[in-house]
With several copies, the nearest count.
Chain A
Amino acid sequence: MEKLTIEIVDHIDSANVYSELSHPQSGGICVFVGAVREFTNNEEVVALEFETYKNMALKEMEKIALEAMEKWELNKVLIRHAVGAKKVEEPVVVVGASSAHRTACFEASRFLIDTLKEKVPIWKKEIFKNKSVWVSAHP
């Protein structure tokens, strides 16, 4: 049974995440799913397009998972990010952790997604009707 699941995939299937994180010593499982929102600053988003530097992204994701396992007592950790074009309501990222008690998995999941957004080389382009924008590129 692998403790870590670190993946970059074309399509995220959220249905299996619970069983992937389930563990006989885990009383709590916390999962965060990031999905495409219909509006950004009141502008209608048609799709998001994700691109990655895959080697490095996987390395950074693993570092984040290992750091979480040092900070909290976790039985399992999962970080999965999608690439390519994603439409409204489609999941783009899933992170989660399972632990004996709930505080650890909640705090770890928040750490996983916050640190992923800060460090993992993945880039998101917002596609609007008449333009597209690389998110966060400019101040």
Chain B
Amino acid sequence: MEVLLFGIAKDIVGKSEIRFSETDELPGSVGDLKRLLTASYPEFGKLSSLAVAVNSEYATDAVFLTKDDEIAIIPPVSGG
């Protein structure tokens, strides 16, 4: 499972992607992934908001994750 990182999320983690290997315990849902991330990188808890996209669509915490999904961390957007 790979998780893409953008903007400040990339700076917090220090790379543009997190890979969970076969042996890792994979987050089962969007909510699990957020909890996992915030536990490992407390800086995520200080952001104005934290969203997750699954297959390039915003996903609620309840959405299940599988290892073939394209998953991305969406910190507060600021286009325009």
Question: Which residues of A are interface residues toward B (Cβ below 8 A)?
Answer: 34, 50-53, 55-57, 59, 81, 92-93, 113, 116-125, 134-139
Contact = CB atoms under 8 A, between A and B. Distances in A.
Contacts of A123: 6-8, 75, 77-79
A137 B8 CA distance: 7
B28 interface: no
B79 A134 contact: no
A120 to B, nearest CB: 5
A122 B8 CA distance: 11
A136 B72 contact: no
The main secondary structure of chain A at its interface with chain B is mixed
A116 B79 contact: yes
Contacts of B68: none
15 contacts: A52-B79, A53-B53, A53-B74, A56-B56, A57-B79, A81-B80, A93-B80, A117-B77, A121-B6, A122-B77, A122-B80, A134-B8, A136-B78, A137-B76, A138-B47
Interface of B: 4, 6-8, 11, 46-48, 53, 56-58, 70, 72, 74-80
Contact of A137 (B58, B75, B79, B80): B75
A118 B77 contact: yes
Contacts of A137: 7-8, 47-48, 75-76, 78
A59 B74 CA distance: 15
A56 B77 contact: no
B80 A113 contact: yes
Given A53-B56, A124-B80, A137-B75, 7 more contacts: A56-B53, A59-B56, A59-B57, A117-B77, A123-B79, A134-B78, A138-B46
